[in-house]
Chain A
């Protein structure tokens, strides 16, 4: 495995910090928005789509390590093991996996990366993957049926669609201005 360079370390730490800031000080204020609109899945999307699979995964994993270690990095100053053990812990655990899925797919199509591709990839990694892990976790932790956990989570779908769109627009623009992922032959 190639050595992680210093710049990579800095990118990983900076994107983990972006993730924290997105949760704490939501950059997006939607007109007439759904009440508690946290932007952390936007951080997952940005890390995967801009840094690629490896660095994106490590950035979000680092964020999870901070949650685990008891730093209040989740919205509302939450954090610690109780969040992981609680009904929504599966989503937090799924974050790095969502980032790696987005990263792998983005790397694959990076030569002709465009908005439609970005939308599909980011929705897959930023919503579907998170739901696929978060919902069964919720069902198990809360001891409710999968269907019930599903219904509860689907309430967040409109917000996740908005985040996918914003994240995709940003990822496409950043790729033009500052491409990060080396083109694959």
Chain B
């Protein structure tokens, strides 16, 4: 499975994942308290500038905005009707800026770097029995299991179709039981490889 990461060597890519997340959190909070159309436009332009600096293709950005478009439109129209055009623009700018910035962080940070950051953030929870080093292993296992589950689903469906049954609940149960059996097998394999 592909990651959303967009590979390039730019100053934006070089910023450590933790720092980018911090910037995103701070910006998100600050934007919320900025009621000025002009300053929000500056922020939006800034994020678009950073996207350019990170050499994110316009199409990638456009695709992300398109996903948000129905929502954005609905919200802006509602604001327009109830509170006026200024507030419609402010709300639109704010949401767009935040989503584009969040998207920029995702596009310029490798999945592995993000997972390392999560592991580091979880370290203080070690005394509670949390094992941060397991996160990466679990993500890798899940990615590996996705095609396996899909294949199992297709097998069950084919078997049922052959017998002339095609109902989702009937279908789901054998898939779940197969999956649970598989977990037993994988667990034994992990033990055999000495995973503590």
**Interface residues, chain A, CB within 8 Å of chain B?**
1, 4-18, 20-21, 25, 27-29, 46, 50, 62-63, 65-66, 68-73, 76, 78-82, 84-88, 141-144, 148, 152, 166, 169-170, 173-174, 177-178, 180
Contacts and interface: CB of A to CB of B under 8 A. Distances in A.
A70 B114 contact: yes
Contacts of B75: 87, 142-144
A20 to B, nearest CB: 5
Contacts, number: 194
Nearest to A162: B168
Given A62-B139, A81-B106, A174-B173, A68 B187 contact: no
Contacts of A141: 95, 98
Contacts of A12: 138
Which 9 residue pairs spanning A and B have beta carbons closest together?
Answer: A7-B187, A80-B106, A1-B129, A17-B145, A10-B186, A13-B141, A81-B102, A6-B190, A82-B103
Contact of B145 (A6, A14, A27, A71): A14
B138 A13 contact: yes
B1 interface: yes
Contacts of A80: 4, 102-103, 105-107
A88 B182 CA distance: 33
Given A66-B139, A142-B71, A144-B91, 11 more contacts: A14-B180, A18-B179, A20-B142, A21-B149, A25-B153, A46-B172, A62-B135, A65-B118, A65-B139, A85-B102, A178-B181
Nearest to A78: B67
B150 A25 contact: yes
A93 B105 CA distance: 18
A27 B155 CA distance: 13
Interface string B100-117: 111101110101001100
A69 B139 contact: yes
B131 interface: yes
A180 B177 CA distance: 10
B148 interface: yes
Contacts of A21: 146, 149-150, 153
Contacts of B68: 82, 86-87
B10 interface: no
Contacts of A9: 134, 137-138, 141, 187, 190, 195
Contacts of A72: 1-4
A178 B102 contact: no
B177 A144 contact: no
A134 B95 CA distance: 16
Contact of A28 (B94, B141, B168, B184): B168
A71 B1 contact: yes
Given A18-B179, A70-B111, A166-B168, A86 B71 contact: yes
Contact of B3 (A29, A65, A70): A70
